[in-house]
Amino acid sequence: MRVLQLHCSDFRYQVRRETPVAEQPASPREESLEDVLVCFICFEKRDEQRIDEIIDLFVENVKVDVSRIGCSMVLLYPYAHLSKSLGSARLAKGFLSGLRDRLEEGGLETHKSPFGWYKAFDLSCIGHPLSEAYREY
């Protein structure tokens, strides 16, 4: 799994058009969040056999990251553009839901944008030393 994390003072997205693997219905169709750690997530082919392990590692790292940057909200944003070796869309959808559930169980307010949709987005990255990070799991 590849993840680009941005600590944003504001992040807004709006669903535009579906792809052939889009989850139905797209919910929410738009969202506006403040003081959020946005995680652009790409589920890869190599992740398919390591789902539980990756979820454990990701949750552990995100808890540390939000603690260090001082926010308590996370947005999981499916983002296929970080890899050329994408995993199964069916598995990716379940994987992202599992991430959301585990983060919420850990006490973090967690949002997830719809999988398989083209979305317009606006962001304002805060720009402190920990506001941008790239992770591979």
For the chain, domain boundaries: 2-136
Q: Is pTM beyond 0.85 here?
A: yes
- Spatial neighbors of 4 by CB under 8 A, at least 6 apart, are 39, 40, 79, 82, 132, 133, 134
Concatenated DSSP letters for 89-100? HHHHHHHHHHHH
The DSSP output letter for 86 is B
DSSP-based three-state secondary structure for 88:
coil
Hey, what CATH topology would domain 2-136 get?
D-tyrosyl-trna(Tyr) Deacylase; Chain: A; (3.50.80)
Q: What is the model's pLDDT at position 32?
A: 98
Strand partners, 33: 11
Residue-wise pLDDT for 25-70, tens only, equals 999 999 999 999 999 999 999 999 999 999 999 999 999 999 999 9
70 phi-psi bin (left φ>0, alpha ψ -120 to 50, beta other) = left
